[in-house]
Amino acid sequence: MSEVALRTVPQAEARLPPRIGERQVATVLIGLLGLILVVIIALPLWVLLSKSVQDSNGGFVGLRNFAIYFSTPTLFASLFNSIAVAALTTCIVVPLAFAYAYALTRTLMPAKSFFYAAALLPIFAPSLLSALSLLYIFGNQGFLKWALMGASVYGPIGIVIAEVLYCFPHALLILVTALSLSDGRLYEAAAALDTTPQRVFRTITLPGARYGIISAAFVVFTLVVTDFGIPKVIGGQFNVLATDAYKQVVGQQNFPMGAVVGMILLVPAVLAFAVDRLVQRKQVALLSSRAVPYEPKPAPARDLAFLIYATIVGGLIVATYGMAVWASFITYWPYNLSLTLKNYIFENAEPTGWGSYFNSLKMAALAAVIGTAVVFTGAYLIEKLKVFPFGRGFAQFLAMLPMAVPGLVLGLGYVFFFNAPWNPLNVLYGTLTVLVVNTIAHFYTVAHITATTALKQIDAEFEAVSASLKVPFWRTFSRVTVPICMPAILDIAVYMFVNALTTVSSVIFLYGANTKLASIAIVHMDESGTVAAAAAMATVIMATAIAARLLHLLLDRLVFERLQAWRRR
Amino acid sequence: MTEPPFLRIEGLSKRFGAFTALKGIDLEVRRGEFVCFLGPSGCGKTTLLRAIAGLDPQEEGVIEIAGRDVSRAPPAARDFGIVFQSYALFPNLTVAQNVGYGLVNRRKGAAEIRRRVDELLALVGLPEQHKKHPVQLSGGQQQRVALARALATAPNLLLLDEPLSALDAKVRVRLREEIRALQKRLGVTTVMVTHDQEEALAMADRIVVMNHGVIEQVGTPAEIYRAPASAFVADFVGAMSFLDAVVAGPKALRTGALDLVCRDDRGLPTGTLVRLGLRPEEIRVRGVMPGDLNAVRVEVENLEFLGPFCRARLKPEVETAGPLVADFSANLMRDLDVAEGRRLLIALPPEALRVFAPPPGVPGQQA
């Protein structure tokens, strides 16, 4: 009897044509995504490129600006300075971070997660916070000034130390991943063949992590070359590319020359991006799906040695950042060390006062919410819908592009694009909107990769099943895809939020009278000599970023564990 | 048969870049029929199924479902249910929500949906599991839910993409019987993709054997097994041993120094190089007398124990192009005291000798 019902009930309905053309909707959405990415990424970069081959009046001059750049010793010197500082920092950071990552992944050192967290601290602060700390430690009033033996911390020494601290977690994250991807069976085979530890390290550990090392080196190099905050605070008379670009555009209003510096800044970043892509493909191929993860065995001497090492390195990082926090509570360094909150009355140091912090909060929250929605929906359209392959390929290309573009360069592109008289969008210049858009574009790629990875892990046939059940894809997107990917979506939101709070380089060109951000206020307070207030503002930002991350962890633990009961057996 | 075919495919071709996945596929499936696409991986069977569903549209060719041309229609306009090897159940929804997924969209009342979900879960043998999530079910149970979900909207065509391949051997056998019984009861036209010949033989009304993007043969399981159209089909469906041979005259073959009589030489002229195929279970051992037709003296070279029977490699005493393969039941092994090195007199029945064209690259005529 039930079979009769089964065969007859929806017969009539099955003949109905679908109500809305899903393919048309999908095509329009993908087109829209492409358009958004063109406006927020491609066009600003294109305008920057064309600016670099124009004179101040907009006439085409070919490569003349580049010729001027390379024949002006003062400009050319900063290119050399940037490369020297970046190379030195890379040579220091990568071995230090490798040993630290080794301690975290290949030993049985106690309190690993504590040491991991300690080393990640710099990620939650604007880059220039480490430079501010160094001012207190090695500066003219610094308590360790004698340790520099007469040399000044203002200049290459200060830049390199500050960059080492700032870049350490970025290198560490890559190297921890590289060292975690190891096949334990290789070590068992080596042990069975009675191989010495030195030989195991040389023939298995290092080759296994070599792509991670290469990738970390390029990432650090690029971070240093394109970082603006640290050389701005502690560079003194030592010019580098990033500060040059700022001076050309903000100081001298020489836009073509600013564009040239931007184009030169693009070179190491694009190179690093290309190497990273190449290396990642090989890294994945290195590890078969049958690999057994490596489990370190107890070795008390080794574990103790690495514990001491991690305590020193992790301790130095925490101490440096702690120094800035402490200094922000001190009445008058170094003469009156009594604690006070007066440095937190920002109105005394800078006209916008706390307003810039609330601007930052608002901007970061908007970037997190809008950015996450756009990035995740975009990644879904690119990854899961089968229509409009050209559009999806184009959008994928643009989504990967920001990784190869330093913030400062993107910021310059935004200045030229959103400030241009011919651009109808120029009403946005100086508004919070343009800051939000710029921040989303700046951090698009990492968020996009996170979303894509999460989407790739879910069954590829959900869309096919929905289509067979005549359920439109947007319904499956909201009812199934988004709930499943909630952890990744939260990750993206926190990533956007933290980076929006701490970024300086790209927004420094874009803020308006009413939209100054906290990170920019720090630069201005440092410029005007109220270093304690600058440290205080940086502390507030760092505290906010850490709070956001902790809240994320807590949410993950308490709320989502319960909501996502379906993940457990 | 006067009824028009339920599913009709004509001249269907599909390329992926330079690779031709399907070329010139013609196929008709009757209403209520259970058809299996069988072939090795990469033969185009899944591609053909996905073209029928509209998930990977073809470049050329026509697809008609129930007399309606759906060649360019999106999947949602085609009226089918589909089950995948991966189950593709929505992990965050309960069993009942999964089964009712396609019903919610049809402006049905909650009570009506609940009744239909109950009915479907009972149908696939999973009553009382409504509130569970997919991870709490075994693989076989998950695939039942997927089946119920595919049947929920009462589609007129059911597509099964290797639905049993991810399951344990025992579960696979039980579920394949249940799917077949359910399909017969509902009478829903079904197309199943599989690379498992046993599954195809057990379930299908008709089997479509595919290789390199073309259909090698279409037929009932018995036709495919007994009268394979090509050496590929013979080799892929069931076991078969092959010997290079030459046509020695009408219904006469010679392999090496051994002369044999066959029933069907396919009208090939004398001197044609052919491949001679023989199923292991068709070799006769009991009661063979010297002088019988196609009687051959052999030595048991090797025995492979396979549980209910042994697979034997037999070396003829006269020179041949290779050894013969035969399956001996446990009974026969005992009765004839078969062991390695033992000599036997066997017969190759003429109707069991199948003549195929030689593989490409071998010249057609002997010098």
> pLDDT of A401-422, one tens digit each?
998 888 889 999 998 999 888 8
Mean pLDDT on A505-522: 90
Task: Count other C-beta atoms under 10 Å from residue B165's C-beta.
Answer: 14
- Which stretches of chain B are DSSP H helices? 45-53, 95-99, 101-104, 110-123, 139-151, 169-186, 197-203, 221-226, 231-236, 330-336
Considering only alpha carbons, which residue of chain B is nearest residue A469? Answer: B102
- From the list B75, B90, B185, the residue facing A462 with the nearest CB is B90
Which tokens go with B72?
């360019």
Which pLDDT score is estimated for B2?
63
> How are beta strands B206-211 and B34-38 bridged, if at all?
parallel
Q: Is the backbone of residue B292 left (phi > 0), alpha (psi -120 to 50) or beta?
A: beta
What are the pLDDT tens digits along chain B (367 aa)? 568 899 999 999 999 888 999 999 999 999 999 999 999 998 999 999 999 999 988 999 999 999 999 999 989 889 999 999 989 999 999 999 999 999 986 767 889 999 999 999 999 999 888 899 998 999 999 999 999 999 999 999 999 999 999 899 899 999 999 999 999 999 999 999 999 999 999 999 999 999 999 999 999 999 999 899 999 999 999 888 899 999 998 999 999 889 999 988 888 889 889 999 999 999 999 889 988 899 999 999 999 999 889 999 999 998 888 899 999 998 888 888 888 999 999 999 999 999 998 766 554 443 3
Answer whether A456 touches B (CB < 8 Å): no
Contacts of B76 in chain A (CB under 8 A): 18, 22, 467-468, 470, 472
Contact A5 B119 (CB under 8 A): yes
Rounded CA-CA distance A133/A127 in Å is: 11
Give me the long-range contacts of A18-21 (CB less than 8 A, separation at least 24). Answer: A18/A470, A18/A472, A18/B74, A18/B76, A18/B77, A20/A472, A21/B74
- Can you name the residues that pair with B254 across neighbouring β-strands? B246, B259
Q: Is the pLDDT of residue A20 over 80?
A: no
| Residues within 8 A of A (CB atoms), B 137-156 only | 149-156
Residue B345: φ, ψ to 5°: -110, 120
Residue A139 near residue A327, CB atoms below 8 Å: no
Query: Is residue B43 a contact partner of residue B17, using CB atoms and an 8 Å limit?
Result: no
Chain A contacts of B16, Cβ < 8 Å? none
CB-based contact B88 A22, cutoff 8 Å: no
Nearest to A22 among B53, B74, B91 (CB): B74
Nearest C-alpha neighbor of A320 from the set A168, A499, A109? A168
Nearest to A480 among B76, B77, B90 (CB): B90
Q: How far is A215 from chain B (nearest CA, A)?
A: 33
Distance from CA of B202 to the nearest CA of A (A): 24
Looking at the partner chain, which of B75, B135, B187 has a beta carbon nearest the beta carbon of A468? B75
Query: Cβ(B85)–Cβ(B46) under 8 Å?
Result: no
Closest CA of chain A from B219, distance in Å = 28
Predicted local distance difference test score (pLDDT) of residue A271: 85
Whether A17 contacts chain B with CB within 8 A: yes
What's the ipTM?
A: 0.82
Number of helices (H), then strands (E), in chain A? 28, 2
Given CB atoms, is B225 within the 8 Å cutoff of chain A?
Answer: no
Give me chain A's average pLDDT, please.
88
Chain A partners of B152 at a C-beta cutoff of 8 Å?
469
- Is A557 an 8 Å CB contact of chain B? no
Q: Are A516 and A356 in contact (CB under 8 A)?
A: yes
Comparing alpha-carbon positions, the chain B residue that sits nearest to A4 is: B186
Both tokens assigned to A88:
């030195």
Q: What is the C-alpha to C-alpha distance for residues A442 and B367, in angstroms, rounded to an integer?
A: 75
Interface test with A, best of B101, B117, B147 (most A CBs within 10 A): B101
